[in-house]
Amino acid sequence: MPTIRTDALTNLERAKLFMGVVSDRYDGLITMLINQATGFINGYVGRALKSTTYSDEEYDGHGDYQLFLKQFPVTAVSALQYNNAVDNSDDWQTFATTDYFWYENGTIKLQRSTFFDRPEGRAFLNRLQRYRVTYTAGYLIDFDNEEDTSKHTLPMEIEYVCQSLVAGIFNTRNAQGYSATKLGDQSITMKKLLFGDAEIKDILDKYATPNI
């Protein structure tokens, strides 16, 4: 029996309920498909959807006062730092929390009035890996407490997409007599299902990382 991923976007019980499956006969197969669908969805949107803390994630400066983080929605920013060294050595200095604003969409903006007389703070200077951020981003996942927003914030439509992909492959492959041990990576089939269903594609496109 495969072990379900800790970041799974649905669980076995809920997926079976969605598909109308009562028997335990296919639990291994469904679990494997949930894992694959979760990985596929994360790959499609371009980031991990489950809440995770990212420590010292480095960014290049680009001459603007805004920095766009790789992950979102952002729920906390623990530290924003800049490297004050003139070579490759580490000389990390920490911005005061009053010197910048952060937003759920993953944007950090410098408080330019605070930094007007400080060269390092007028903008995220156009230099390689001069900045690093420690922050938390993603959705809380706890299906046992889905009504408690302090424990579960995953949008229901994302779970719906995961369940739809699992059901699409399950219904096709099970009808053809495939077992869990004979099924490989189903990413190609999931891509076909995604692009063949405008509804689920539109849902995931809303959560995809923008090209900046």
Tell me the DSSP string of 134-174: EEEESB---GGGTT-TTT----HHHHHHHHHHHHHHHHHHH
The residue from 113, 137, 161 where one domain ends is: 137
Verify that 93 and 42 share a domain, yes or no.
Answer: no
| Confidence at residue 86, expressed as pLDDT on a 0 to 100 scale | 74
* Total structural domains within the chain: 2
Verify that 62 and 33 share a domain, yes or no.
Answer: no
Verify that 133 and 151 share a domain, yes or no.
Answer: no
Reported residue count of the chain is 212
Determine, yes or no, domain membership for 36.
yes
Determine, yes or no, domain membership for 156.
yes
Verify that 41 and 19 share a domain, yes or no.
Answer: yes
Verify that 150 and 203 share a domain, yes or no.
Answer: yes
Determine, yes or no, domain membership for 2.
no
Verify that 82 and 182 share a domain, yes or no.
Answer: no
Determine, yes or no, domain membership for 4.
no
Cα(189)–Cα(123) distance, integer angstroms: 45
The residue from 122, 137, 152 where one domain ends is: 137
**Strand-strand pairing, 66-68 and 131-137:** unpaired
Verify that 116 and 56 share a domain, yes or no.
Answer: yes
Determine, yes or no, domain membership for 59.
yes
Verify that 56 and 44 share a domain, yes or no.
Answer: no
| Confidence at residue 112, expressed as pLDDT on a 0 to 100 scale | 64
Confidence band for 113, pLDDT divided at 50, 70 and 90 = low
Verify that 67 and 118 share a domain, yes or no.
Answer: yes
Distance between the two ends of the chain, CA-based, in angstroms?
41
Determine, yes or no, domain membership for 107.
yes
pLDDT in tens, 35-86: 999 999 999 999 999 999 999 999 988 888 889 999 999 999 999 999 888 7
Place of tokens 């090209």: 211
User: Are the CB atoms for 153 and 4 separated by under 8 Å?
Assistant: no
The residue from 117, 137, 157 where one domain ends is: 137
| Confidence at residue 204, expressed as pLDDT on a 0 to 100 scale | 94
| Confidence at residue 194, expressed as pLDDT on a 0 to 100 scale | 79
Residues facing residue 137 across a β-bridge: 52, 74
Supply the range of the domain harboring residue 159. Answer: 12-49+141-207
| Confidence at residue 62, expressed as pLDDT on a 0 to 100 scale | 82
Give the mean model confidence (pLDDT) for residues 138-151: 97
Compute the mean pLDDT over every residue in the chain, rounded to the nearest whole number.
Answer: 86
Verify that 115 and 64 share a domain, yes or no.
Answer: yes
- φ, ψ of residue 37 to 5 degrees: the values are -65, -40
Q: Averaging pLDDT over each range in 39-43, 86-90, 192-196, which range is the top one? A: 39-43
| Confidence at residue 180, expressed as pLDDT on a 0 to 100 scale | 45
* Segments of the chain assigned E as strands: 52-59, 66-68, 74-83, 92-94, 100-102, 107-110, 131-137
Residue 176 has pLDDT above 70, yes or no: no
Determine, yes or no, domain membership for 76.
yes
Determine, yes or no, domain membership for 118.
yes
What angle in degrees, to the nearest 10, is found between the helix axes of 27-45 and 156-175? Answer: 130
User: Of all residues in the chain, what percent carry a pLDDT higher than 70?
Assistant: 86
Whether a cis peptide bond, with omega within 30° of 0, leads into 119 is no
User: Are the CB atoms for 101 and 111 separated by under 8 Å?
Assistant: yes
Verify that 118 and 186 share a domain, yes or no.
Answer: no
| Confidence at residue 184, expressed as pLDDT on a 0 to 100 scale | 54
